[in-house]
Structure 1
Amino acid sequence: MKNINIKVHKHYLLKMAFLALPFTFAACDTDELLNPVPETSISDKNAFDTPERILGQVNGLYDALKSGQFYGGRLLIYNEIRGEEYINRLTNGVTGLQTWQQNVQSGTNEVQNLWGAAYASINRINVFLKGLEDNKAKVDPALYTQYQAEAKFLRALCYHSLVTLYAKPFNADNGASPGLPLRLQAETSTANNNLARSTVAEVYAQILQDLDDAEAGLPLNHATDLLNTTRAHRNTAIALKTRVYLHMGNYGKVIEEAQKIVSGTTTFTAPTGVAHALQADVAVPFVNYTTTESIFSMPMSDLDVPGTQNQLGFYFNAAPTGGGEYYLNTAGIVNDPAWPDTDARKTNFIVTEGGNMYLKKFNKPSPYTDYVPVIRYAEVLLNYAEAAARTNDLPKAIALLSAVRQRSDASYIFPAEAIATQEALINTILKERRIELLGEGFRSMDITRTLQTFPEKTGGGLSAPAVAPSSSDYVWPMPSTEIATNKDL
């Protein structure tokens, strides 16, 4: 069995190295055909010899994150179905049944595939950073700085996505627990596969270093709305920092970062860079994907889709538009009195089919080309609101919370008991996150960062147990492929 695992892992490593290699654009000459460059070698001549090819490498970094096993869909899906908002309908092991049932193991496909896709992206970023540095004279200095910053933003996003799933929450012990192998150098062979796990705190420190560097090097904006949504700019890095600091429980820093891109008292906007703001209609960001509310998204098209059984619409929407894999749990937020039927998020995004309620936030038919939302301005406002509440600035927290709620339900007034005390207000904000961000990959992360128990859930003849923070199932295990060959774990 060990030999089989090693064989599988070697295949994964070679695949990861291959994915990390820069694209080539010119046809090979006769000498190259007779003497090909090994798959695990880098040819700077091919990949970085012109500004156009270097830009191609940058675009390739974003494309790598769009793997269906990562930000193309499954990362968000797994973070949703681990929580209590969904019931599994089809008992299909390929589409996350074990994740829903809270019984994944080191050898479970989703544990191994997501890890592999994320580290393939990370290594591709590291290879790019080295190649860019080695060829910096071939690109305009301003673009060199920008491209480096974009790569570091993406690396930070990758590592935060991994550390929140495969390691204990920072708040459990101030980051002292084992985190991830922190791979920061370009690898074109398996020679350096052995690498010990850094602590959670060390991983977060690297994430923040990358984001600080990204903020300093990214442009204020890009030339088009599409690029402002699909490529990182300065506000993108700042927005992600509000999420990272929230996970660390560093609420003062959440506020400090949020204030850079949130101004106003009742209507909030970003004062510099891209003019981020909530759309008046909550449905618009899920139809027009490039509004100022969408800070960062993964674009999809008919020629560039996440792949079979990876798409958000396939999992969450009702058939025939989707696959109807998961329907909404009647014991979850969808039936909570705090989410009345007058709310536009319910009238726009909830549909009943066959007696079950489904989320139609992602409403494109097959091949499900909805953009994948990674950061929306609504999340930033709720991050800021929670941090303000936890630092006892209740008026500011209520104003931010109300902006999100009343965008979808202008007549709604929070009951006095829901906002009168710090504890009540925090709980109300956490509930608002469940409503506003439903289906966008936040539920599992919000449960773990606040050290809550994953609730028990039942439906469709299936059940999943409650999982307490002390349980070994609270976070995902290291993949067996990594354990089999990384001798320093």
Structure 2
Amino acid sequence: MKKYILISLFFLVAMTSCNDDLLDTIPETSIPEEIAYNTPGKILAQTNNLYKQLQNQNYYGGRFIIFNEQRADQFGQNDGNAATGSAVWNQNVASTNDFVNNVWSVCYTAINASNILISKLNGTTVVSEALAKNYIAEAKFIRAFCYFSLIQTYAKPYNLDKNGLGLPLRLTPITTSGNNDLARSSIEVIYTQILKDLDEAENDLPIEYSTPLLNISRAKKSTAIALKTRVYLVQANYDKVISESQKIVSSTVPFQYTAGNLTNKLESNFATIFGGSYTGTEAIFTIPFANTTTETPASQYALAFNYLAQPIIFLTAAGISSDPVLNSSNDARSGLIGTNAANQKVLKKFSITTAPFRDFVPVIRYAEVLLNYAEAAANRDDLSMAKALLTAVRNRSNPSYVFSDAEVGTKDALLNTIWKERDIELLGEGFRLMDLQRRLQTLPAKKGSIGTAPLVLVSSSNYIWPIPSGEISTNKLMVPNP
């Protein structure tokens, strides 16, 4: 049977329009495998296709971030329709749920595309050895990123049971049917592979690309390092969070990273980050949307539609939106909280409220890295560094704010303040669920227009998502979650 590979040639026209080889690529959407990698342009198109997978509307194109906010406790639900994730908000999804199956499918599709690219470029002579290493490193970054999403969604938290059931670890390409059966590796094995991929990616990724858009939308060295700070934080491996952070965070104020022509640092104007198409210094990794019909997320999947245009979900009165920081004109972040006609507080970070919804989606920001570092430093009793990093994040939005002794005077107080700052700074960006689960905390009960969602104990089966029915039906070695 002749093998075929799907190829996306429309990802980020702005990213690749300067490449003549890509523009010369044949227009078919399905081409024989033997010619899919026979020109530099086609190889670049396959590499770009990996990022297109992340842009999927069921993943970081919108819906996956919404799922993580719906499952946590900062948002109430307005819409009882299953299509808008009411069952997700109600903590009541089954293995047959479309969303449960879609996230799994999107991630493993991206993983397989990464595996194919890696296998095809090992030993290739179509592009230079250096460029092949660059592309392979990007594929390893994408593979690690997807496995990290999957392991947090479908397996128990690392700090609860690292020897428990993880995921099928697929590291070789699947290009024909009949290769589905694979048992679940342990949670620790999956995390080990994620970090191995990121370490190897860091080694071979470039320091920078030629344009600001490429720097935020393709993986580079600092992108892999920044993601490692997140992974190690989930593992509570604070020493590694610190050592990785120190690669891209200067030791003194102003905290920043400079290499070649690339600089990463906090944006001076917080609102600028959420201007729709931000490519500035704070963006370490972002999902962009080009001005094409093929890069338009469907309405119900788009962040602005869910947070602001309808809204499907709104900020609960009992959540972080009631904190004085988000209700004071002294803090710039309060400007991204609004009130709708129903007198509900809504998030205005993603502001393109009419179709097409093409807000760039921030995935890794420099502010997160500083907060990851701050938490790790506090846990290792370097309270002065932790306070300095925390203060940098707060003072960016409120230059005159001085933390009180009650907020930062002890290790416990400082950690609680750092966690609150994460809730404020990263609100609506998909972090709250991860932060609750990595600290092994109950998912609190919450209220919405459609009723009350129950609290979820760490020991409850719905603390994580079930293994999708589609995987169970096609993988004979798959064991469901208990």
TM normalised by structure 2 equals 0.91
CA contact 1:83–1:443 (8 Å) conserved in 2? yes
Pair 1:447 & 2:436 matched: yes
Which residue is 1:31 aligned to?
Answer: none
SS in structure 1 of the partner of residue 338 of structure 2: strand
Between the aligned partners of 2:178 and 2:476, the Cα distance in structure 1 is 12
CA contact 1:126–1:185 (8 Å) conserved in 2? yes
CA contact 1:21–1:42 (8 Å) conserved in 2? no
CA contact 2:78–2:450 (8 Å) conserved in 1? no
Change (3 A) 1:210 1:76: same
Q: How does 1:428-443 map to 2 (within 5 A)?
A: 428-443=417-432
CA contact 1:302–1:367 (8 Å) conserved in 2? no
- Give the AA of the match of 1:251: Y
Between the aligned partners of 2:113 and 2:440, the Cα distance in structure 1 is 33
Between the aligned partners of 1:348 and 1:338, the Cα distance in structure 2 is 11
Pair 1:43 & 2:33 matched: yes
Which residue is 2:21 aligned to?
Answer: none
Q: How does 1:254-269 map to 2 (within 5 A)?
A: 254-269=241-256
Q: How does 1:157-172 map to 2 (within 5 A)?
A: 157-172=145-160
Pair 1:189 & 2:176 matched: yes
Between the aligned partners of 1:195 and 1:362, the Cα distance in structure 2 is 40
Change (3 A) 1:339 1:425: farther
The one-character-per-residue Cα deviations of 1:30-68 (angstroms, maximum 9, x if unpaired) are xxxxxxx9x7x95222x1111111111111111111110
Between the aligned partners of 2:349 and 2:216, the Cα distance in structure 1 is 18
CA contact 1:363–1:370 (8 Å) conserved in 2? yes
- Give the AA of the match of 1:314: F
Pair 1:456 & 2:445 matched: yes
Which residue is 1:313 aligned to?
Answer: 304
Tell me how far 1:458 sits from its aligned partner.
Answer: 1.2
SS in structure 1 of the partner of residue 143 of structure 2: helix
Change (3 A) 1:345 1:172: farther
Change (3 A) 1:448 1:79: same
Between the aligned partners of 1:82 and 1:138, the Cα distance in structure 2 is 46
1:399 to 385, 388, 405: 388
2:79 to 67, 90, 104: 90
Q: How does 1:123-272 map to 2 (within 5 A)?
A: 123-133=112-122, 136-173=124-161, 175-272=162-259
Tell me how far 1:143 sits from its aligned partner.
Answer: 0.4
Change (3 A) 1:247 1:334: same
Runs of 4+ in 1 over 6 A off after TM superposition: none
1:336 to 306, 323, 326: 323
CA contact 2:71–2:89 (8 Å) conserved in 1? yes
Q: How does 1:327-476 map to 2 (within 5 A)?
A: 327-337=314-324, 339-354=326-341, 355-365=343-353, 366-476=355-465
SS in structure 2 of the partner of residue 138 of structure 1: coil
Between the aligned partners of 1:406 and 1:475, the Cα distance in structure 2 is 36
SS in structure 1 of the partner of residue 256 of structure 2: coil
Tell me how far 1:158 sits from its aligned partner.
Answer: 0.5
SS in structure 2 of the partner of residue 466 of structure 1: coil
1:479 to 463, 468, 472: 468
The one-character-per-residue Cα deviations of 1:323-370 (angstroms, maximum 9, x if unpaired) are 211111010000023544134444321111121110010001321100
CA contact 2:77–2:450 (8 Å) conserved in 1? no
Between the aligned partners of 2:130 and 2:372, the Cα distance in structure 1 is 32
CA contact 2:8–2:52 (8 Å) conserved in 1? no
Where does the alignment leave 5 or more consecutive residues of structure 2 unmatched? 10-24
1:121 to 110, 113, 121: 110
Pair 1:276 & 2:264 matched: yes
Which residue is 2:6 aligned to?
Answer: 21
Pair 1:70 & 2:70 matched: no
Tell me how far 1:406 sits from its aligned partner.
Answer: 0.9
- Of stretches 282-291 and 264-273 in structure 1, the one that deviates more from structure 2 is 264-273
Change (3 A) 1:437 1:482: same
SS in structure 2 of the partner of residue 118 of structure 1: helix
Tell me how far 1:310 sits from its aligned partner.
Answer: 1.0
CA contact 1:115–1:162 (8 Å) conserved in 2? yes
SS in structure 1 of the partner of residue 352 of structure 2: coil
CA contact 2:183–2:477 (8 Å) conserved in 1? yes
Change (3 A) 1:215 1:338: same
TM normalised by structure 1 equals 0.90
CA contact 1:22–1:128 (8 Å) conserved in 2? no
CA contact 1:21–1:124 (8 Å) conserved in 2? no
SS in structure 1 of the partner of residue 281 of structure 2: coil
- Number of residue pairs the alignment of both structures matches: 455
CA contact 2:95–2:469 (8 Å) conserved in 1? yes
CA contact 2:255–2:265 (8 Å) conserved in 1? yes
Change (3 A) 1:343 1:200: farther
